Structure 1
C-alpha cells in the first residue's frame, strides 16, 4: 500500500489489517504468508505481523503453513446485519416466494458497484450457484444487480460504464445491454436475465417512501426447468406483490442503515 496516498484521518494499520482479512475469498479459503502478502499488497514482515495479530484475536486459524478465517469473523458481519430492518421485514416474504416456487430467493443492496446479498432463502433443488449472506457480485452481472443499478442517476451510470475494470471479459459490462435492462426496470419495475451457467433470473427493485431504490429481490431457476414465459406470467406477479408488501411494511420517512 502507498502511504503517501493515505488520508490524514485514516489509520494505515487498520486499513492494512482489513486488507489482510479481505484477502481471503471464496476461491482462496486457505492462504500462505506469501499469498496473503501478495493479495493484500504488503511485504512479508508486515503481513506476518497482521496475520499473527488476527490469529491471536481468533479472527484467523492456522493449519500448518496456511491460514484460514475463523468463525469469529462472522461477529463483524452479524453486528451489521442485526442493525438492518429491511432484511428482517423481507424474510417472511422471501420464504413465501421460495416455498411457492421451490426456488432460491435473494435480497441484495448496492455497495459501490457491487450487489451485496443481505438475505437469502435457498431451495431444496440443486442450483449451479447459491448465494450466501454477505457475498458480493459485480452489479452488472445479475438481474438483482441491474435492478439496483436502475436506481442510480444517469450521470453515475455514465461514469460506471466509462470506468475501466481489470479482470476477465465478464467483468466488463456491455453498455448497450445494461442500458436496455436499466430502462426496462425503470419502465416496468422488473427484468429477467439468463446466464451462461444455465440460470434464469427475475428481479425487481424495492423502493422507500421517496421512491429511492433501497434493495432488490430476485428469484433464480435453471433455464431448462423454468422457461422465461413462466417467470414472466407466473413468478413475476408474485414477486411484484412481495415487493409491494415489503415496501408497505418498511418504516416510512426514517433514516436507516439499510440504505446503500
Structure 2
C-alpha cells in the first residue's frame, strides 16, 4: 500500500525529493528512499541531478496495454460468438502477460464433454497452441526465457529447444498453431494470431476440445475457420 501511495504522491508533482515525499505521504524517510530506489531500478522513476525523482512513461505503457486488452475483448466478443456457434467447441481469446498465456474471454461448448477453463487462467506458452502463437511471432528473448524451463506436462510436450524452434518456424509459415495433447491429456487445440494495424501479434484465439472430437480430420476442417475469424478480428483493430 505504501508503494502505491508514493506513486500517487509523485503523480501530483513534476518531481519530488525523498524528504518532501516522506512528509507528503507521512512515511518514514528510509522507507521512502528504499521504495523510490526500487522503482528507479524497475524503470518507473528517474532521478534528476539534484536528487529528485519523476515518473517515466512506463506506467502509461502498462495502462495502455490494459486498455488494449479491454478493447480487444470488446471487438472480438461478437466475432468469437459466431465462431462458437459454428464449431460448438470451447473458444478462447488470450494475451501474453509475463511470459504466460492469459485467457481474456471464452465461449463454452454446449457438449457435456468439453475443455475446462476460466477467464484469467494462466497457461504455459511452449506446450499450448495459443502460447506457441506468441512464441512464433515474438522476440528471440522471449523464447530464450521460456526455454529455461521446458518441463513435460504429457508425453507429447516438446522439451527440446531445437524441436520447438522447428515447430515455431512451421507455425509462422502456416499461420496457425496446434496443441496435440501437449499440455493436457485428452485435449487438443488450434490457435491463430490477432494482429494490430502494424502487423504485430497482440492477442490470439483458439478452438479447443476433447481429442475424441478434435481428430486430425476435424483439425483440418477447423483451420480455415480459425484463420478466417482471426483475420476478421484483426481487421477491426485500429491501434
TM-score between both structures, scaled by the size of structure 1: 0.60
Partner of 1:16: none
Partner of 2:132: 146
Equivalent position SS for 2:37: coil
Equivalent position SS for 2:224: helix
Q: 1:117-139 CA distances to partner (integer Å, 9 max, x unpaired)?
A: 00111111234642211110111
- CA RMSD in angstroms, aligned pairs only: 2.7
Instruction: After TM superposition, give the deviation of residue 96 of structure 1 in Å.
Output: 1.0
Partner of 2:204: 216
Match 1:249 to one of 229, 236, 239: 236
Q: Name stretches of at least 5 consecutive residues in structure 2 with no aligned partner.
A: 1-30, 40-65
CA 1:227–1:216 in structure 2 vs 1: closer, same or farther (change >3 Å)? same
Equivalent position SS for 2:189: strand
TM-score between both structures, scaled by the size of structure 2: 0.65
Instruction: After TM superposition, give the deviation of residue 183 of structure 1 in Å.
Output: 1.0
Runs of 4 or more off by more than 6 Å in structure 1?
none
Partner of 2:178: 192
Equivalent position SS for 2:126: helix
Does residue 113 of structure 1 match 2:142?
no
Partner of 2:21: none
User: What are the equivalent positions in structure 2 for 1:41-52 lying under 5 Å apart?
Assistant: none
Aligned residues: 176
Partner of 1:55: none
Equivalent position SS for 2:132: helix
Partner of 2:79: 93
Structure index of larger Rg: 2
User: What are the equivalent positions in structure 2 for 1:50-89 lying under 5 Å apart?
Assistant: 84-89=70-75
